[in-house]
Chain A
């Protein structure tokens, strides 16, 4: 064959390198251009999982409600009543629904790449679309849960106040945090499948540490436990989102300024780190 300097030819012809990881900015622009894929996939997936069951969309709400009822009853018997705040049912349901949003984003985000191997191996597209779509699906799932939550709140005497509008920034921050966690989990799972086994355990620990069915402020109050325990527990971002949600929706709960600091700080740091962390391995996802 003729002796050709292929590299020079490519440079001279101005051919872009195939599969190259673009700059972060270009990557995000490309992601934005294909956002329809993420939103459409999220919507279709949700519809598809629901259409298989007779009760359809009702399960989105029934399942976490039943779980909340189980935990509420079991721990209502086991734990002393001074671990629970007043108007316990809205407290429990708000906590459980918001926690479900986090735990589902975490576990589904972790599977976003490993569960779509054939797609990743046969088409070239910004891989970040997959975890983004997984978190979007969980956000859509949250919508009917919020409707039921409103009914429960009103049923238990928590009438709408202007504070309810605070749910918009709270959920925006929580979505940022969840997306960051999903991106980190998605990349780690590609490198090490074993992470998938750890996710339910991490979720369980967070579930017990975030005060879903008891009040951290009441249980970890200083006389019974050293003061640092409560302080550490309050730096758990998942707890912060749940407490903010309760503070916004229930007049019996308070909105502490520290919670806003923890929530917005963790949302920003997790999202920025997650995006950069995921983007850096962009060229390696097709290999696994």
Chain B
């Protein structure tokens, strides 16, 4: 196993025999569909197995980098952990409240103002109105878009959009925080601020799972690296070692 600094803490995430397949159904014309149905032929489907029997445990307080090249299954694994995708086989258990920045700002409605979106997003993440109220100032201050908070979100730049979405998510007080490739957007000062916030979360014992192509950054940030290749876990080790292997140096 990896260098595990906190072997005593309980498991936060257990992934057991996870298999996730995607089916592509070829779209046919109505005529073809009817002809096929008349001949009682089965519908042709292409199957693509994104994750093949993934097993892992992540303990409370660990900061884990999910590494791998495009199409290796990192984001699919993250979506399965967040509960958005249901596994085809196997199970995933997670302890505590999950917050995910998987598709940034997905819960945002462009026609609504920043303020309205903060309330909506908080509500959908399971915060009470009092909780949102109490943290509203903090959320806005962190995002640094005070003067635009009552503007409709569709007028926001992509950077402002990201800041607000990230800010809401990190202030929901999650136990498990899933981050997919969000630190790539935003300017450098804001990135630094996000990293500081992530370190704060880490220091307060939260569990973090991070997907990023910024290998140096995640290797420095995380204390464990899991390498996926074609939907299989091929390495689970200290993150710098995993990055060296990805670069063909190890």
Contacts and interface: CB of A to CB of B under 8 A. Distances in A.
Contacts of A44: 109, 112, 116, 120
Interface stretch (A72-80, A116-124, A151-159, A237-245): A116-124
Contacts of B191: none
A15 B123 contact: no
B134 interface: no
A9 B57 contact: yes
A111 to B, nearest CB: 14
Interface stretch (A31-39, A57-65, A142-150): A31-39
A59 to B, nearest CB: 16
A15 B92 CA distance: 8
A17 B93 CA distance: 4
B94 A121 contact: no
Nearest to B14: A10
Interface stretch (B43-51, B62-70, B96-104, B197-205): B96-104
B86 interface: yes
B124 interface: yes
B111 A48 contact: yes
Given A2-B1, A36-B129, A123-B107, A7 B81 contact: no
B241 interface: no
A19 B84 contact: yes
B129 A122 contact: no
Nearest to B126: A34
Contacts of B83: 18-19, 124
B106 interface: yes
A123 B127 CA distance: 14
Contacts of A49: 111
Contact of A15 (B14, B124, B126): B14
A94 B153 CA distance: 38
Interface residues of B, number: 45
Nearest to A286: B84
A6 B109 contact: no
Contacts of B143: none
A125 B99 CA distance: 11
A17 B126 contact: no
A18 B93 contact: yes
B86 A1 contact: no
A192 interface: no
A164 to B, nearest CB: 34
A123 B169 CA distance: 11
Given A9-B14, A122-B84, A123-B107, A4 B55 contact: yes
A122 B82 CA distance: 8
Contact of B81 (A6, A18, A45): A18
Contacts of B94: 15-16, 18
A194 to B, nearest CB: 10
A231 interface: no
B14 A6 contact: yes
Interface centre among B1, B15, B94, B123, by most chain A C-beta atoms within 10 angstroms, is B123
A275 interface: no
A124 B93 contact: no
B85 A123 contact: no
A38 to B, nearest CB: 9
Contacts of B102: 122
24 contacts: A1-B1, A4-B55, A6-B57, A7-B16, A7-B91, A15-B13, A15-B94, A17-B91, A18-B82, A19-B83, A36-B123, A40-B120, A41-B120, A44-B116, A45-B109, A45-B112, A119-B106, A119-B124, A122-B84, A122-B100, A122-B102, A123-B100, A124-B84, A124-B98
Query: What are the nearest 6 A-B pairs in CB distance?
Result: A15-B93, A19-B83, A122-B106, A6-B16, A48-B111, A37-B123
